[in-house]
Amino acid sequence: MARAYQHSIDSRTMLTTSGWDLEAGKPKIFDDKRNGADFALETDSSIMPAKFAFGELVAGRFVRNPKGHSVGILGFGAIGKEIGRKLNAIGMNVHYSKRTPLTDEEEKVLGYPATYHKEIKDLFSNSQLLVLACPLNAGTHYVVNEESLKFLPKEARIINIGRGALIDTKAMLAALKSGHLHGVGLDVYEKEPIIEEELCTRWDVVLEPHIGSSTLENVELSEKNCVNNIYNMILGDGKSVTRVN
């Protein structure tokens, strides 16, 4: 919006005045007559008159502060724990699920409180934000599906950084269109490398092309690990330094 209007107050105003189209997943259409006339909004009773906007609303949907809200992390390995640490630092209450709960010693090392849930439905019920950071296997395939989505609180959000097929995309889209889901952030996709066309048009879906590790330092570290693996297999104890899942 800021790029389109090149004006900070205008950008906030346009986001505030449009009603939200659940089916399309974006604000209702408006026409900007910026060059030569005032804003011309579609005649729709759900659209408020243009006025100064603080930015707490996007097309009638409130923007929420993460502080005090709950995050559920499915998959609590090194990555899941680090995500929990960062979200706890900004005030979120961390819940997690994995095969076994942390030991007392692991909890001490963790450095922040985290509530364990054995059952997936219990984790989902406590997840205003659900983060998927687990591997894909027979037990996690479509772990987010039509039935499990019902356990999430209304207007929950989902972030998937694990594998695309953890989510039934069709069921996820239906939940967005019904308003049960507020938004989704995806780093992986069910039909990778193809991104489902409908996901690309929705404002309530944030897409990333799996580039979280794409930094110079990480490339250099990967090359170093490859060399160490080769050296250790040939001249060392025959065991690899790292393993690929």
Which residue in this structure is represented by tokens 């005032």?
Answer: 38
Residue 29 binned pLDDT confidence (cut-offs 50, 70, 90): low
* Domain boundary assignment for the chain: 2-62, 70-207, 216-245
What Å distances lie between residue 197 and 66, 71, 131, 144, CA to CA? 30, 28, 23, 20
Write the pLDDT tens digit of every residue in 200-232: 999 999 999 988 888 999 999 989 988 888 888
Whole-number average pLDDT of the chain: 87
Tell me the Cα Rg of the chain: 22
Q: Which regions of the chain does DSSP assign to beta strands (E)?
A: 20-21, 26-27, 30-31, 40-41, 57-58, 61-62, 70-74, 93-97, 114-116, 129-132, 156-160, 181-186, 205-207
Q: Say which of 34, 64, 85, 210 is annotated catalytic.
A: 210
Q: Quick one: pLDDT at residue 50?
A: 54
Out of 26-35, 75-84, 193-202, which region has the weakest mean confidence (pLDDT)? 26-35
Residue 163 appears among annotated catalytic residues: yes
* Better-predicted residue by pLDDT, 185 or 232: 185
- 117 in Cβ contact with 93 (< 8 Å): no
Please pick, among 163, 182, 190, 202, the residue that the annotation labels catalytic. Answer: 163
Q: Is 232 helix (H, G, I), strand (E, B) or coil?
A: helix
Using omega within 30 degrees of 0 as the cis cutoff, is the peptide bond preceding 193 cis? yes
CB 128: neighbour CB atoms within 10 A? 21
> With 70 as the cut, is the pLDDT of residue 40 above it?
no
Burial class (CB in 10 A: 0-12, 13-18, 19+), 23: exposed
Question: Do 64 and 24 form a contact (C-beta atoms < 8 A)?
Answer: no
pLDDT band at 6 (very low <50, low <70, confident <90, very high): confident
182 is catalytic: no
CB hemisphere CA count around 41 (13 angstroms): 19
Tell how far CA 197 is from the center of its chain. Answer: 18
CATH H-level superfamily of 70-207: NAD(P)-binding Rossmann-like Domain (3.40.50.720)
3-state secondary structure of 95: strand
Query: How many alpha carbons lie under 13 Å from residue 211 in its C-beta half-sphere?
Result: 6
DSSP character at residue 118: S
192, 208, 220, 223: the catalytic one is 192
Could you say which DSSP state residue 36 is in? Answer: T
202 an active-site residue? no
Listed in sequence order, the residues at least 6 apart from 134 whose beta carbon sits closer than 8 Å to its beta carbon are 74, 75, 80, 98, 140, 143, 162, 166
